[in-house]
Chains A and B, each alone.
Chain A
Amino acid sequence: DTGVSQNPRHKITKRGQNVTFRCDPISEHNRLYWYRQTLGQGPEFLTYFQNEAQLEKSRLLSDRFSAERPKGSFSTLEIQRTEQGDSAMYLCASSLPQASNEKLFFGSGTQLSVL
C-alpha cells in the first residue's frame, strides 16, 4: 500500500439516512485527519487522531458526526440523519510528524451527495 485509501469514492443518500466512510492511512502514519471540502473552497478541518486518541474536534463537527479510529489504524467517519448541507467531499489525510516537518498525505476523498 503506497497511499491513503478512502471508501467509498462516491456516496449518494437520501436526507435523513446515516452514512459511514472509511479511511485507511499509510501504515506507519500515526496521525489521521478528516477534512470537509465544498466546491470552490479549501479543505476545512473536522477532527484528527493521534494513534487511537481523538485529540481535537472542530466546532463544524456537530453531534450528528462521529469519528473513530479504534485500533490506531483505519478510521471511520459517520454522519447520522444526513442533511443536504452535508453534501461535500470528505477528505482523509495521514502523517508521520517529524520536528517542524509534518506533511499531510491525502486520499482521493469520498464525495457525498445528499438528496
Chain B
Amino acid sequence: SQQGEEDPQALSIQEGENATMNCSYKTSINNLQWYRQNSGRGLVHLILIRSNEREKHSGRLRVTLDTSKKSSSLLITASRAADTASYFCATDRAGNQFYFGTGTSLTVIP
C-alpha cells in the first residue's frame, strides 16, 4: 500500500508563477524525499529532508516538513514550462522500503 498522499492531484499554472504541492503520510519516518517524473520516464530525485529538519532549499525548490502533522510541502518558485511533470513524495521506514505517494501532476503553461 502507498504511504503518502499528494495534494492536489493536478495543478495547472502559468509560467513564472509558484507551484505548491503537499504530501501527507501515515507513520513516523526517517526522512522524506521528493521526486519528479516526466511522462513515460523513471523518477529523478529532487531533494531530501530529514525528520529533524523543518525546511530545506535547493535552487528554486523549497521543502518544508511538519512531523507533528505528518505532512510536507514542495514549493517550486518562478515555474518554467520544463517543470511540467509529476511530483511524488517518498517516505522511508525501518525496513528500507520507500513508499511513494500518488503524485501531483503539474502543468506549467508557457
Greatest chain A CB density within 10 A among B33, B43, B92 is at B43
Instruction: State in angstroms the CA–CA spacing of A102 and B101 once bound together.
Output: 18
Q: Would you call A45 and B98 a contact (CB within 8 A)?
A: yes
Of B14-22, B44-52, B57-65, B68-76, the one contacting chain A is: B44-52
A25 at the interface (CB under 8 A from B): no
A62 at the interface (CB under 8 A from B): no
Q: Would you call A91 and B31 a contact (CB within 8 A)?
A: no
Q: Would you call A104 and B41 a contact (CB within 8 A)?
A: no
Instruction: State in angstroms the CA–CA spacing of A55 and B96 once bound together.
Output: 9
Q: Would you call A48 and B42 a contact (CB within 8 A)?
A: no
Query: Which A residues are within 8 Å of any B CB, using their own CB?
Result: 4, 6, 31, 33, 35, 40-45, 48, 55-56, 91, 93, 97, 100-109, 111
Pairs A–B under 8 Å by Cβ, sample size 21: A31-B96, A40-B102, A41-B2, A41-B102, A41-B103, A42-B2, A43-B100, A56-B97, A93-B43, A102-B92, A102-B96, A103-B45, A103-B48, A104-B33, A104-B35, A104-B45, A105-B45, A106-B43, A107-B42, A109-B41, A111-B40
